[in-house]
């Protein structure tokens, strides 16, 4: 299993809209396309308050690539994205890191 850490920095005042899009659409669409939802996080203390951090799991890098291609092409995702951005963009910056569990990690 490989893991991807993604960090979304929101546009000013748009965190609620981003969380609603994930809660109401994105999480289920990720599962539909074979991505494993590991966890979603915001900062409670320290760091930035305008970031949503999340981790997805995949069987392989090829599975990741296939899943993202299918997700991006899904009309349900395209409609949810367009509706959530009717009042303007939500995300200012996206960072993605592919993580490899260590031999002592509980997640493998």
Residue 92: the pLDDT is: 97
Q: Say what the pTM is.
A: 0.92
Helix (H, G, I), strand (E, B) or coil at 99: strand
Structural domain span for residue 88? 11-52+68-99
Tokens of 71: 């997700």
Tokens of 78: 């395209």
C-alpha 98 chain-centroid distance:
13
Tell me if 60 is assigned to some domain: no
Tell me if 104 is assigned to some domain: no
Tell me if 87 is assigned to some domain: yes
Tell me if 107 is assigned to some domain: no
Tell me if 6 is assigned to some domain: no
Domain count, the chain: 1
Tell me if 79 is assigned to some domain: yes
Mean pLDDT, range 48-71, rounded to an integer: 97
Q: Is 75 a residue whose pLDDT tops 80? A: yes
Percent of the chain with pLDDT over 90: 91
């Amino acid at each position: 299993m490989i893991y991807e850490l993604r960090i979304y920095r929101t546009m000013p005042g748009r965190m609620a809209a981003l969380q609603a899009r994930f809660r109401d659409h994105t999480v289920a669409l990720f599962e539909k396309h074979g991505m494993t939802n590991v966890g979603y996080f915001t900062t409670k203390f320290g760091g930035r308050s305008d970031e949503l951090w999340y981790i997805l799991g995949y069987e392989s890098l090829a599975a990741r690539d296939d899943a993202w291609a299918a997700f991006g092409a899904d009309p349900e995702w395209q409609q949810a994205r367009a509706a959530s951005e009717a009042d303007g963009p939500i995300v200012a910056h996206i960072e993605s890191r592919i993580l490899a569990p260590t031999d002592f990690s509980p997640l493998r």
